[in-house]
């Protein structure tokens, strides 16, 4: 079943520079899709991203238009689109350029759910010492 505009607006959110911190500071899992209107692979990946958002309503699925949000794209050094970035509890735990197949995105979501953030935070603390 194709995702209509109304369903998409309920499943994914558009992230801007002004809404970024508010979105990621809520904690939990946030998956970001850096894209642009002119990008063919972005358009091909869009329905996969939208379908995952509908399937996993407890996860924030955000879309960042790199043409409109150049400061955000620059801050995260986005060099290729689509780029998928995932944060858990405000920490970037995944960052990869290129579209994913639906099964790959589901594997990523499972890995994000299973990720032990106490261990991640301990590893970060150890690296900073």
Taken in order of first residue, the domains within the chain and their CATH numbers are 12-128 (3.40.30.10)
Find the mean pLDDT for residues 28-56: 95
Q: Strand, coil or helix: what is 88?
A: strand
> What pLDDT is recorded for position 65?
96
Rounded mean pLDDT of 114-121? 90
The active-site residue, picked from 24, 31, 39, 85, is 39
Residue 60 annotated to the active site: no
Q: Scanning the structure block, which residue is given the tokens 């879309």?
A: 63
Q: SS3 sequence, 46-83?
A: HHHHHHHHHHCCCCEEEEEECCCCHHHHHHCCCCCCCE
Do 91 and 117 form a contact (C-beta atoms < 8 A)? yes
Instruction: Please report, rounded to a whole number, the percentage of residues in the chain having pLDDT higher than 70.
Output: 92
Q: For 110-116, what is the mean pLDDT?
A: 94
For 56-104, write each residue's pLDDT tens digit. 999 999 999 999 999 999 999 999 999 999 999 999 999 999 999 999 9
Crossing angle, helix 102-114 and helix 40-55, to 10 degrees?
Answer: 50
Q: Is 39 a catalytic residue?
A: yes
Please identify which of the residues 42, 59, 73, 81 carries the catalytic annotation: 42
Four-residue CA torsion sign, 96, 99, 103, 109: positive
């Amino acid at each position: 079943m194709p995702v209509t505009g109304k369903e998409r607006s309920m499943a994914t959110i558009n992230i801007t520079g002004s809404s970024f911190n508010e979105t990621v500071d809520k904690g939990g899992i946030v998956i970001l899709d850096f894209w642009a209107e002119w990008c063919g692979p972005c358009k091909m990946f869009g329905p996969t991203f939208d379908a995952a958002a509908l399937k996993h309503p407890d996860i924030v699925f955000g879309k960042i238009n790199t043409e409109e949000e150049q400061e955000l794209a620059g801050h995260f050094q986005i060099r290729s689109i689509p780029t998928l970035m995932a944060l858990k509890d405000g920490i970037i735990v995944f960052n990869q350029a290129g579209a994913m197949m639906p099964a790959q995105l589901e594997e990523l979501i499972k890995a994000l759910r299973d990720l032990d953030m106490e261990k991640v935070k301990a590893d970060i603390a150890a690296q900073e010492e």
